Amino acid sequence: MIGAEPIATAVVLTAFGGLLAASVGLSRVSARLGLPVALLFLLVGVVAGSEGLGHIGFEDYGFAFRVGTTALVLILFDGGLNTPAASARQVLAPATVLATVGVVATAGLVAVAAHLFGLSWAMAMLLGAIVSSTDAAAVFSVLTASGTRLRRRVGLTLELESGLNDPMAVILTTAITAGIAGGAAPSALAVTLDVVRELAIGAVTGYVIARVGRLLIMRVHLPAAGLYPAFTLAVACLSFGLATLLHGSGFLAVYVTGMTLGSGVLPHAVGIRRVHDALGWLSQVLMFLLLGLLVFPSRLLQVATVGLTLALFLAVVARPVIAMLCLAPFRYRWRDSAYVGWVGLRGAVPIVLATIPVMADVPGAHVLFDIVFFIVVVGALVPGATVPWMARLLRVESDAPPPPATMIEVDARAPRGDELRAYFVSDQLAVAGATLAEIPFPEGAAVSMLERGGALIAPSGATRIEPGDYVYVIAPVEHRPLVELLFGRSEEH
């Protein structure tokens, strides 16, 4: 064993490095094709698997589940950090309905369709539960790669729903799996009570952990900036772990924790967000690579007909219909509801959930896993490749100004004090056409730089602000309302 090292470790790291580099390199191909970048990560894993070119034998579903769960924790925490609580409250009700009632209804419709294809009711219900939730990472990787900017209400609804609906799918999948493994189907009342209990415990635990974490991070002055994201990572892990140990939804807890932390002032906020963004992307790559290794292409051919039909039914019928019905009471435009339904892409979550019945030795679980993989891939190809085209067709693109060509971030050790924000100068603003010397800035505020046509300009008092410019204003936090009276909402909003 000793003589095998460090060669064995070197082989593993070489293989991992090669697969990781190939996956990241293919992300540019994904952007050109308009496909979820994670889908290419998954296909790299398949090609490297036991029946692919790499011939890497891997069939450890337990290990894959642990890695997938850890990755989802990091992805959801990163998503929560970048979801402002104030904005989320505007669409909390419709997003919650989609994440609960919508998930159950989608699972039911898919179950009916799967039963018509010969699956028993128990297995059909299990399949419906597994594929019932959408994937925020898949949705927004396509939107980002294509440069699609959505109307505010549509984008927020998609973002919040995708972060909230995983817990419901997890609860349904584990409950139905336990019922099948135990030989008795769980009652609807028992599942409903479990759902309410787990969501309540998860939400409360996540909020409490975030408040305690915020109190500590604001009071404890750590000796190095790199320790702050390490601390927030610890908070994320504690949130998921404690909520799960209390029989609550750990996934909801970690999302609430991220949202609560991210909605307030944090020391070294730029560094914290940058680290968690990197961890989120690394988690996606690892998760999809590992899950791709679990796939045997020869088995996929046996379920191709069922998988293709159910994938199209889910993407074209079930998800859009349920989304439009769920959003109808909230007076969404039919175009907005249709788009929310169309871009409900499936990602790694269903594949991770599909490992649960395999680990529980449910008869036919491997067939179910293959069907789920087929649904995820086909679902990403059909709606995924048409996300920007559908945005133009349904006219849900935002009319907000384009983001600045340059991204300027300022990280300060002090959690409070001056802040730097970017503001778009529209021709409707009173400051448009004025020189900086003519603008009545509040005390302590000034324009530090200006972007015009993608070029940065060092301003002086005689610099005239033109419509279409982005001005970067540095000002004390307490003067933000006065600055926004002059320049409107900052780009962050």
pLDDT reported for residue 239: 96
* Nearest alpha-carbon partner for 169 in 347, 358, 306: 347
Q: What is the pLDDT of residues 160-169, one digit of tens each?
A: 888 788 888 8
Looking at the predicted structure, is the pLDDT value of residue 195 above 90? no
In a domain, 411, yes or no: no
Indicate the number of domains in the chain.
2
Q: What is the CATH number of the domain that holds 55?
A: 1.20.1530.20
Whether 305 and 433 map to the same domain: the answer is no
**Integer angstrom CA distances of residue 67 from 101, 410, 436:** 29, 34, 53
Whether 61 and 112 map to the same domain: the answer is yes
Give the tokens for residue 19: 């697969």
Alpha-carbon Rg for the chain in angstroms: 24
Q: What is the pLDDT of residues 20-51, one digit of tens each?
A: 787 777 776 666 665 667 677 778 888 888 77
Whether 142 and 266 map to the same domain: the answer is yes
pLDDT reported for residue 416: 53
Give the tokens for residue 358: 């395999």
* Nearest alpha-carbon partner for 175 in 243, 240, 128: 128
Looking at the chain, the whole-number percentage of residues with pLDDT higher than 70 is: 89
pLDDT reported for residue 145: 64
Whether the CB-CB separation of 21 and 14 falls below 8 Å is answered with: no
pLDDT reported for residue 493: 43
In a domain, 443, yes or no: yes
DSSP conformational letter for 447 = E
In a domain, 399, yes or no: no
pLDDT reported for residue 105: 94
Whether 372 and 253 map to the same domain: the answer is yes
Whether 364 and 468 map to the same domain: the answer is no
Model's pTM, two decimal places? 0.83
Looking at the predicted structure, is the pLDDT value of residue 319 above 70? yes
pLDDT band at 1 (very low <50, low <70, confident <90, very high): very low
Q: What is the CATH number of the domain that holds 422?
A: 3.30.70.1450
| CA–CA gap between residue 489 and residue 493 (Å, rounded) | 6
CA angle, 263 then 267 then 268, to 5°:
105
| CA–CA gap between residue 152 and residue 493 (Å, rounded) | 10
Whether the CB-CB separation of 343 and 151 falls below 8 Å is answered with: no
Q: Which residues are 456's β-sheet partners?
A: 451
Looking at the predicted structure, is the pLDDT value of residue 125 above 60? yes
Looking at the predicted structure, is the pLDDT value of residue 352 above 50? yes
Does 410 or 470 have the greater pLDDT score? 470
DSSP one-letter string for 142-193: HHHHHT--B-HHHHHHHHHHHHHHHHHHHHHHHHHHHHHHHTSPPPHHHHHH
Q: Which helix (H) or strand (E) holds 471?
A: strand 470-476
In a domain, 11, yes or no: no
Which amino acid is located at 284 in the chain?
Q
pLDDT reported for residue 258: 93
| CA–CA gap between residue 355 and residue 360 (Å, rounded) | 9
pLDDT reported for residue 30: 63
Whether 137 and 182 map to the same domain: the answer is yes
pLDDT reported for residue 2: 52
* Nearest alpha-carbon partner for 443 in 471, 477, 479, 480: 479
Q: What is the pLDDT of residues 238-255, one digit of tens each?
A: 999 999 999 999 999 999
**Integer angstrom CA distances of residue 276 from 151, 209, 262, 271:** 26, 18, 12, 9
pLDDT reported for residue 155: 84
Q: Residues 402-427: what's their mean pLDDT?
A: 69
pLDDT reported for residue 144: 66
Flag the least confident range among 9-23, 376-390, 411-425: 411-425
Whether 232 and 352 map to the same domain: the answer is yes
Q: Which residues are 474's β-sheet partners?
A: 420, 446
Which domain, by its residues, includes 200? 20-393
Whether 349 and 274 map to the same domain: the answer is yes
Whether 232 and 144 map to the same domain: the answer is yes
pLDDT reported for residue 330: 93
Q: Which of 341, 358, 393 is the last residue of a domain?
A: 393
Q: Residues 268-278: what's their mean pLDDT?
A: 87
In a domain, 5, yes or no: no
Does 363 or 53 have the greater pLDDT score? 363
Whether 344 and 273 map to the same domain: the answer is yes
* Nearest alpha-carbon partner for 289 in 15, 42, 7: 42
pLDDT reported for residue 478: 85
Query: For all residues of the chain together, what is the average pLDDT?
Result: 84
156 burial class (0-12, 13-18, 19+ CB within 10 angstroms)? buried
pLDDT reported for residue 328: 93
Answer positive or negative: Cα dihedral of 461, 463, 468, 474: negative
Whether 330 and 479 map to the same domain: the answer is no
Answer positive or negative: Cα dihedral of 256, 260, 266, 269: positive
Whether 69 and 200 map to the same domain: the answer is yes
* Nearest alpha-carbon partner for 357 in 140, 115, 144, 124: 124
Looking at the predicted structure, is the pLDDT value of residue 411 above 70? no
Give the tokens for residue 344: 């409900």
pLDDT band at 54 (very low <50, low <70, confident <90, very high): confident
DSSP one-letter string for 372-421: HHHHHHHHHHTTGGGHHHHHHHTT-B--SPPPPSS------SSSSSEEEE
Quote the longest CA-to-CA distance of the chain. Answer: 80
CA 491 to chain centroid, in Å, comes to 21
pLDDT reported for residue 40: 76
Q: Which residues are 457's β-sheet partners?
A: 450
Whether the CB-CB separation of 68 and 355 falls below 8 Å is answered with: yes
pLDDT reported for residue 327: 94
pLDDT reported for residue 127: 94
pLDDT reported for residue 313: 93
In a domain, 462, yes or no: yes
In a domain, 400, yes or no: no
How many other C-beta atoms lie within 10 A of the C-beta of residue 297?
A: 14
**Integer angstrom CA distances of residue 451 from 201, 425, 426, 448, 467:** 47, 10, 13, 11, 11
pLDDT reported for residue 418: 75
Q: Residues 446-453: what's their mean pLDDT?
A: 88
Looking at the predicted structure, is the pLDDT value of residue 408 above 70? no
In a domain, 406, yes or no: no
* Nearest alpha-carbon partner for 245 in 200, 212, 283, 201: 201
pLDDT band at 302 (very low <50, low <70, confident <90, very high): confident
pLDDT band at 83 (very low <50, low <70, confident <90, very high): confident
Q: Which of 378, 393, 408 is the last residue of a domain?
A: 393
Give the tokens for residue 101: 């009632």
Does 453 or 246 have the greater pLDDT score? 246
pLDDT reported for residue 325: 95
pLDDT reported for residue 184: 66
pLDDT reported for residue 300: 82
Answer positive or negative: Cα dihedral of 150, 155, 158, 159: positive
Give the tokens for residue 336: 């907005």
Q: Which of 393, 409, 431 is the last residue of a domain?
A: 393
Flag the least confident range among 63-77, 285-299, 332-346: 285-299
Q: Residues 51-78: what's their mean pLDDT?
A: 85
